Structure 1
Amino acid sequence: MSNTTRRALLGAGLLLGAGTLSGCGGPPDSICLEGDQPVESGARLSLPSLGAETHLRKEPQLGLLGLAVSPDGARVAAHEWWHRQALSESETAGTTIWDTATEEIVARFDDTMTGAIVWHPHEDLIATAGELAIHLARPDGEVLWTLGGHEESDSRRSRVIRDLAFSPDGDQLASLSTDGTIRLWSLAGGTCATQPVLRVSYGTPMALAYSRDGSQIAVAVQGRGAEHWDARTGERATALEGCSQDAVGIAADDQGRFVLGIAEEARLQPASPDSGCGRDVESGIPVPEYLAVGPDGRLAVSGGESEVLEIWSAGLAGHERIDLPKSVPDIGAPGELGRTAWAPDGTLYAVTRWWGVIKWDGQEWSPLEIP
C-alpha cells in the first residue's frame, strides 16, 4: 500500500444528500492515517496547575464518557484522566483495560484518550477518542489507524468527542462530537477510508446509535430531538415526528426502535423511523444521557451526575431502581455514575467518578481494581 493510499482524504467535498457537508465552508475534512499519528492543528493544551488542597490529590478519577466491554466479556476498558498523572500519582493517562475474571488491570496506555470508547463487535479491536484524535487499536496498545477531523476547543467553546459506535457488521465506525458533526469511516477489509461528514440541523449532538440492522444512524440532539441518516449514503432521512426536543441519550432496542433519553422532565421515549416517537415514560434519572441495551433487551439508564441506576425491562414496561453504596471503608463513596455497558452474560459494568469501573451482578455492586 502506498503512502498516498494510506493517507488519502477520500471524502473531501463529497455531498451525498441533505445533512452532509462539502469541503467548501464546512469543517475540516476527515482523515485516516496509518499508525499512531498526531492530528493536532496547533499547540497542545497545557495542563492546569492543581493546588495542594485539591481533592484530586486524594482520589482516583476516571472519565465518565468512556466504557466498553469486549464481545466475549473477558475485558472491560475505560479512560483514566490526566489529573493523576499531572499530580505524579500515575505514570499513564488514557486507556486502561481490566480482566473481568480477575477484576485486575491488565494494560494501561499513556495515550491521553479521555472521550468515548467502543469495542469492535467481531474483531479484537478497540476505538478510543481524545479531544481531536480517534485511535483504532489492538488491546495490546498497537495503533492501526489514527482518525481525525473533529474541531478542537477554543476560548469560546469546549468540544469533545462524546460517542463512538461501530455498525453491527463492524465495517463502519461513526464518531460524534459537540462540534456539530458526525463523521463516518469505512473499515471493511482492514482498510480505512473516509465517508460523508454529517451535520445536525441545530442544537448539540449528545449520543448516537446504529439501528439493529445497521441501515440507519440516529443521533440524540439537545435542543432538537432526534435526527437520523442512511448509514450507507449519508442522506438525511425524514425527521422523526413527535419527539421531545431535549434529547441527550439514545440506544437501539431489541424491537427495532430507538429509545431516547429526554432531559426535560427526565423521560424515556421510544422512536421508530417508520412511525416517529411514541408516548414517553417517566425516569428517575435527572439527565438520562447514558443508555445501554443488554443481551436480553433490558435497558440501563444513568447520567446527570446521579448516583442511581435504572434498569428497564424490554419495551419500557417497568423498571427497578438501583442505588450506589453511600460509602465503603477504605475506598469511600463511588461518586456519580457515568456510562454503562453490558457483558454477554448479563453482568452490567459502569464507570464512576471515584471508584472507577464497578459491576452489578444482579445482587450487589463491587469495584474492579482501582487505578
Structure 2
Amino acid sequence: MPEPRVVAAIATLLALAVAGCSDDRSDEPSTGGAGGGTGSAGATGGSAAFELVATDDLSVSPDGDEVLADCWNGICRWDAAAGTLDLVADRGTVAVAPDWSTVATVDDGTVVLEDLDSGDTTAELTGLADADVTDGSPVTAVAYSPDGGLVAAAGQDEEGDQRLVLWTADGDEVATLDTSGEVHRISISREGNRIATAGNGPVEVHDLVKGDTLELPSGGGGTVAWSPDGELLLGAGADGQPSVWDAETWELVAELRGTRLHEAAFAPAGDTIALTSVDETSVTLWDPARDPRRATRLEGHTSDPGAVAWSPDGSVLYSVSDEDGVLAWDAATGERASTDFELPEGR
C-alpha cells in the first residue's frame, strides 16, 4: 500500500471533491480513526471521516516565521507568532524542501516538484512506476536532502520490485538502489552520501560511496532521522523503541524502552530528540547523551500527534495531531507556548 503521506495528499483532493458535491454542509467536521500518521480514515458515524490536519509532515520556514502542514482542504500555512492560517486550497504535498522553495507531490509513479508559492512544476522525477498498482501510487515515501539539492523516493518499479531512487532537484537520476521491503520513511545524511530507510523491514543504511547496504538490528515501522552533524542515526529498535546508533561504528548508544517510535526530529543543536509514540497523546523530549533511559513528556494533545518540527534556533518545538492541529512548545521549559494555531474550517 502507498506510504501514509502519499495517501494524505490524495485524500486532500478527494475530500475537496466530496465537499463540493455534498448537500450536507454540517458546521462540525467529521473526524476520527485517522490518528497515528495516516492520511486516510475509516468511516465514523455513517459519514466520511478525514483529518482536519494531516499528521505525516510538519515544516518550519527557514526564518522561523511560518509553519506548514497538509490539511483536508489544501496546504495550511500558519504565522508562527500569531497562529493565523493562510490556506492554499486545492494543493497537497508529500515533502517540503528545507528552503521552502518547492514541495514534492506524486502523480502516479512520478514525483513532481512544484514551486511552493506559485504551484508551477519545476521538475518531474521518474523511475518508479508499477503498472499493476491500481489502488494508489507506487511511490511510498519521498524526502529531500538537508540542503535541498537531492530528492529520494521509494516504491515499486515496472517489475513490482521495491526500489529507492535518488535524483538531483533538477530531475537528473543519481542512483537506483534495492530495498529489502516496502519503505515508509527516508532520511538523507547531511553530506548526501548515505540514505537511511524504515518501513515494513529493518532500518537500512545505503552508502552511495561504498555501494553497500547495512541492515541494523531493528524492527519494522517508525521513522529514521540523522542528527544534524551526521554522527548519529535514530530509528526503531527490535521492539519498536526509539534507538540511536553511532553512524561510524553502528553500535547502539541509547534506547528508550517502553515507547514505540512513531515520528521524530533532532533539535538543531543535535542534543535533544523530539518524538511521538504510537497510541500516545504526549510528545516526548529525549536527550540520549544526558539520560539515555528517561525522557520528558509534554501533555496537551487530545489525539495522537504525528510529525514534530523545531524552529531554526531550537527554542520552539511544534507538533501536530489530526484533531488539534498544530501545538507549540517552549523547548526550554516544556510548557505550551501562548500561540493558538487556527484550525481549517470543517466540511
The reply to whether TM is greater than 0.5 is: yes
RMSD of equivalent CA atoms: 3.5
Contact kept in structure 2, 1:251 and 1:259, CA below 8 Å: yes
Which residues in structure 2 correspond to 1:36-115 (within 5 Å)? 53-54=45-46, 61-81=52-72, 93-111=73-91, 113=92
Work out the CA distance in 2 between the residues paired with 1:131 and 1:248.
25
Q: Residue 212 of structure 2 aligns to which amino acid in structure 1?
A: A
Which residue of the other structure, out of 163, 168, 171, is the alignment partner of 1:181? 163
Alignment of 1:196 with 2:175, yes or no, is yes
Work out the CA distance in 1 between the residues paired with 2:48 and 2:297.
27
Cα displacement (A) at 1:324: 3.3
Which residue of the other structure, out of 317, 320, 337, is the alignment partner of 1:348? 317
Work out the CA distance in 1 between the residues paired with 2:191 and 2:213.
18
Q: 1:363 to 1:76 in 2, by over 3 A?
A: same
Match of 1:239 in 2: 214
Q: Residue 96 of structure 1 aligns to which amino acid in structure 2?
A: C
Q: 1:68 to 1:45 in 2, by over 3 A?
A: closer
Q: What CA deviation, in whole Å up to 9, does each residue of 1:235-255 have, x standing for no partner?
A: 632525x52243531111145
Which residue of the other structure, out of 221, 224, 227, is the alignment partner of 1:250? 224
Match of 1:370 in 2: 343
Q: Residue 327 of structure 2 aligns to which amino acid in structure 1?
A: I
Cα displacement (A) at 1:317: 3.1
Alignment of 1:147 with 2:124, yes or no, is yes
Q: Residue 324 of structure 1 aligns to which amino acid in structure 2?
A: E
Cα displacement (A) at 1:343: 0.9
Contact kept in structure 1, 2:235 and 2:244, CA below 8 Å: no
Work out the CA distance in 2 between the residues paired with 1:263 and 1:278.
9
Q: Residue 164 of structure 1 aligns to which amino acid in structure 2?
A: A
Q: Residue 170 of structure 1 aligns to which amino acid in structure 2?
A: G
Cα displacement (A) at 1:164: 1.3
Which residue of the other structure, out of 234, 239, 263, is the alignment partner of 1:265? 239
Q: 1:194 to 1:68 in 2, by over 3 A?
A: same
Which residue of the other structure, out of 304, 311, 336, is the alignment partner of 2:285? 311
Aligned pairs, number? 296
Percent of aligned pairs with the same residue? 23
Work out the CA distance in 1 between the residues paired with 2:211 and 2:279.
33
Q: 1:185 to 1:254 in 2, by over 3 A?
A: closer
Q: 1:322 to 1:356 in 2, by over 3 A?
A: same
**Structure 2: any 5+ residue segments left out of the alignment?**
1-9, 23-41
Q: What CA deviation, in whole Å up to 9, does each residue of 1:331-370 have, x standing for no partner?
A: xx3x111111111132111120102222112311654110
Q: TM-score, normalised by structure 2?
A: 0.72
Contact kept in structure 2, 1:226 and 1:247, CA below 8 Å: no
Work out the CA distance in 2 between the residues paired with 1:157 and 1:134.
14
Q: 1:196 to 1:51 in 2, by over 3 A?
A: closer
Alignment of 1:320 with 2:309, yes or no, is no
Alignment of 1:289 with 2:262, yes or no, is yes
Match of 2:28 in 1: none
Contact kept in structure 2, 1:131 and 1:161, CA below 8 Å: no
Q: Residue 321 of structure 1 aligns to which amino acid in structure 2?
A: T
**Structure 1: any 5+ residue segments left out of the alignment?**
1-39, 82-92, 327-332
What SS class does the counterpart of residue 212 from structure 2 fall into? coil
